[in-house]
């Protein structure tokens, strides 16, 4: 079957090299039993590729089902895929067959597989490797004959490195990868798709198909289309319904093109984006910022205590302050005080010839600093334990996330006696 006949049969529009390569790969892998991983941004048409693979395979007369893993709650996805026994959980009044049981001999398309919980990923890996599964609440092993086609709009390799996706499952799914190009990578196809959509909508709404001027075509091609084909189709429908002209120029089309806005989200000043310092949620980011701020405040309090207890440090600080302030005074001030700046009376009095006797307020401040040290140490210990657990005690990964060297992390592990935890 030729490439063009496949496009005509499944409504694939476009002639870009990236699209043709993806289609060629799908056609070649379809007659085999290999697992396929379809990658691409949201809205590029990944499900159409799964249907092509199923329709050209030996399973084409058997069931095909598409499952959106991101749309099924974590607590019920195991039951949806593998079934459950009566009484397996609250509300399980009857036994139920899962998709892997009902689609025997056919193809199951797992869309957004990057959203699948880790526990379900382990069950899926067993199905892919042995063809076996167990219903929720059962101990009986069952066999299934299902071809799995998975799709994702995330980079699963990065997710696997961060512990958010099973690495063994990634390599098992990635037997044959197919990357579907986004519209930004196939600009030559944008106007072809737009033309197809406006013709379809003109038939639907009984209107005249809209045409674009050359400048309007260029405007459409230059737009990045973050929503890809789905977004282009929406724009075509809006134009078909709302415009009163048969030919749209650049100014008219601009009304239907969303404004390009930059990223206005706040960023962390000084945050090193080259390091994979990934936190699971905003609370942990705020926790780390608070920890750093508290550490700075403690250092300032500690410095003040040391100045009070050490006269020489106080004298040095006084000289530095005097020199800094006198440098900004006018020359007339220096002449009136009879001499160069460094002979002027000190702005900070040098009254530390005798040992300093700390007041009750100063003693209380010193105690607060010591208590804060203990509090910060406890917070640091908790943070290290949490990050080590997240990375399964891989010190290198934990050190990167904490923003410290591996040697420093090793020392802190020994200091906090965490080696046996």
Q: Which structural domain, as residue segments, surrounds residue 228?
A: 184-254
217 and 326 fall within a common domain: no
Give the CA diameter of the chain.
106
- Asked if residue 240 and residue 130 are part of one domain, the reply reads no
Question: 346 in a domain, yes or no?
Answer: yes
Neighbours of 52 (CB within 10 A): 19
| Res 60: pLDDT | 95
Residues 43 and 418: their CA atoms lie apart, in Å, by: 47
User: How high is the pLDDT of residue 135?
Assistant: 92
In tens, the pLDDT along 285-310 reads 555 666 667 667 667 767 767 666 66
Token duo for residue 361: 């307020």
- Pull the structure tokens for residue 240: 């078909």
Whether 156 and 229 map to the same domain: the answer is no
Whole-structure pTM value: 0.61
Residue 172: inside a domain, yes or no? yes
Which two three-digit tokens encode residue 323? 């020199």
CA separation for the pair 310, 355 (Å, rounded): 8
> Per-residue pLDDT tens for 383-397?
888 888 888 788 888
Question: Do 99 and 152 contact (CB within 8 A), yes or no?
Answer: no
212 — pLDDT class (breaks 50, 70, 90): very high
Model confidence pLDDT, tens digit, residues 3-60:
999 999 999 999 999 999 999 999 999 999 999 999 999 999 999 999 999 999 999 9
Residues 114 and 64 placed together within one structural domain of the fold: yes
Print burial letters for 225-244: b (CB count within 10 Å at least 16), e (below 16): bebbbebbbebbbebbeebe
Whether residues 133 and 10 fall in one domain: yes
Instruction: Say which residue, 285 or 192, is predicted with more confidence.
Output: 192
Higher pLDDT, 273 or 135: 135
Residue 364 located in a structural domain: yes
Tell whether 250 and 216 lie within a shared domain. yes
Q: Which of 242-246, 271-275, 386-390, 400-404 has the lowest mean pLDDT?
A: 271-275
Position 109 scores a pLDDT of 97
Higher pLDDT, 349 or 192: 192
Does residue 334 register a pLDDT over 50?
no
Whether residues 384 and 241 share a domain: the answer is no
- Rounded to 5°, angle at Cα 100 from 99 and 104: 105
The answer to whether residue 323 sits within a structural domain is: yes
Total domains in the chain come to: 3
What average pLDDT does the segment 344-359 reach? 47
Q: Are 316 and 245 contained in the same domain?
A: no
Band the pLDDT of 416: cuts 50, 70, 90. confident
């Amino acid at each position: 079957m030729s490439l063009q006949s496949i496009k005509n049969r499944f409504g694939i529009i476009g002639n870009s090299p990236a699209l043709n390569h993806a289609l060629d790969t799908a056609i070649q892998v379809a007659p085999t039993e290999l697992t396929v991983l379809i990658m691409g941004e949201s809205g590029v048409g990944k499900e159409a590729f799964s249907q092509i693979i199923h329709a050209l395979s030996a399973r084409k007369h058997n069931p095909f089902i598409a499952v959106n893993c991101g749309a099924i709650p974590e607590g019920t996805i195991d039951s949806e895929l593998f079934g459950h026994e009566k009484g397996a959980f609250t509300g399980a009044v009857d036994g139920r067959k899962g998709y892997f049981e009902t689609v025997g001999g056919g193809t199951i398309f797992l869309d957004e597989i990057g959203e699948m919980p880790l526990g379900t990923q382990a069950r899926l890996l067993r199905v892919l490797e042995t063809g076996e599964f167990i219903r929720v609440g059962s101990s009986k092993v069952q066999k299934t004959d299902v071809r799995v086609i998975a799709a994702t709009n995330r980079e699963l390799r990065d997710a696997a490195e961060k512990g958010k996706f099973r690495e063994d499952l990634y390599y098992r799914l990635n037997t044959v990868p197919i990357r579907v190009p986004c519209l930004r990578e196939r600009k030559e196809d944008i106007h072809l798709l737009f033309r197809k959509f406006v013709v379809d909508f003109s038939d639907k709404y009984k209107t005249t198909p809209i045409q674009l001027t050359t400048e309007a075509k260029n405007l459409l091609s230059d737009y990045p289309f973050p929503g890809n084909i789905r977004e282009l189709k929406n724009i075509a429908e809006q134009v078909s319904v709302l415009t009163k002209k048969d030919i749209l120029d650049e100014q008219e089309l601009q009304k239907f093109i969303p404004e390009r806005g930059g990223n206005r989200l706040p960023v962390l000043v000084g945050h090193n984006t080259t390091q994979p310092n990934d936190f699971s949620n905003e609370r942990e980011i705020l926790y780390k910022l608070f920890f750093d701020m508290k550490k700075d405040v403690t250092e300032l309090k500690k410095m003040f205590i040391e100045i009070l207890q050490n006269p020489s440090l106080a004298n040095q600080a006084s000289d530095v302050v005097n020199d800094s302030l006198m440098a900004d005074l006018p020359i007339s001030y220096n002449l009136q005080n009879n001499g160069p700046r460094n002979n002027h009376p000190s702005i900070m009095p040098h009254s530390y010839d005798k040992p300093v006797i700390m007041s009750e307020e100063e003693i209380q401040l010193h105690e607060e600093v010591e208590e804060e040290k203990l509090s910060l140490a406890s917070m640091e210990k908790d943070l290290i334990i949490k990050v080590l657990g997240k990375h399964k005690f891989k010190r290198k990964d934990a050190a990167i996330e904490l923003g410290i060297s591996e040697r420093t992390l090793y020392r802190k592990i020994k200091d906090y006696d965490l080696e046996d935890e």
